[in-house]
Structure 1
Amino acid sequence: MNNEQPHYSQDKVDEIDMNGEKPFYNSLPYTRSYITNKKIKKEIKSYPDLQSFMTIGYLSDKQFKNGTILPWTIGVFTTNVIVLDKVKAFIKGQNVWLYTVGIFE
C-alpha cells in the first residue's frame, strides 16, 4: 500500500462495510495500472474484466479468502467485490489486515 494512496474520509469510511464488517480504512478506487505487486498482477490476469480496485483495512483478520466474492456497501450503494490479496502489516504500532479487492462494475 502506498502511503500517499487517496482514501475515503473517516466520515465516509463509517458508512462502508464489506460483508457486514466495518473497516477502519478504505482507499478510493484505483485502476489496474496502479497495481505493482507481482502476486496481485498474476491473480488479476484471471479477471480481465476487473478494471478498478481498492485496498480495505481492518484491525483484526476477517478471514476473507482470495477469490471470494463479497458485497461492499457505502451508504445505500452496494456492489460486489472479489478478494484478490490479504496482507498483515504493522502500522502505527498495531497489526492491521489489508485486503486488495477488485470491483465488479
Structure 2
Amino acid sequence: MSDDQVRWESVDYEGFEIHVSTRPKELVRPGDTSPARYTYIGYVCHPGANPALPGHTVPFHADGEDVFATPRDAHDEAVQVGRSVVDGTHPDLSVLSLVTSGV
C-alpha cells in the first residue's frame, strides 16, 4: 500500500492525538477461501503537530506476529497502544520527548 493510499483515523486522548492506520497483512485473492488478516501502524502527537517533522510524533506499530481478524480489531488495539503511550504504561514508548521538547 503506497503512502498516498494510507487512510488515517484520529482519536483525541488526554491532550494528545492518536493517529491509526489499519491495513491488510495478508491479502485475499479472488477465489481464496482463507480470511484476510489485518495489522496497524500509528503515532501519537500534540494536536496540530506536523508528523513529517522529526521529533513531532511517537510512532508505534503492531508486533511482527500480531494479526487481527478485522480492521476494527486492529484499530481498537492500536488505539489501546496509543493510550498506553500517553498514559506512560507502555513498556518501551513515552510522550516525554514531546512534552520536554515543546512540540
TM-score scaled to structure 2, two decimals?
Answer: 0.33
Choose between structure 1 and 2: higher strand proportion. 1
TM-score scaled to structure 1, two decimals?
Answer: 0.33
Choose between structure 1 and 2: higher helix proportion. 2
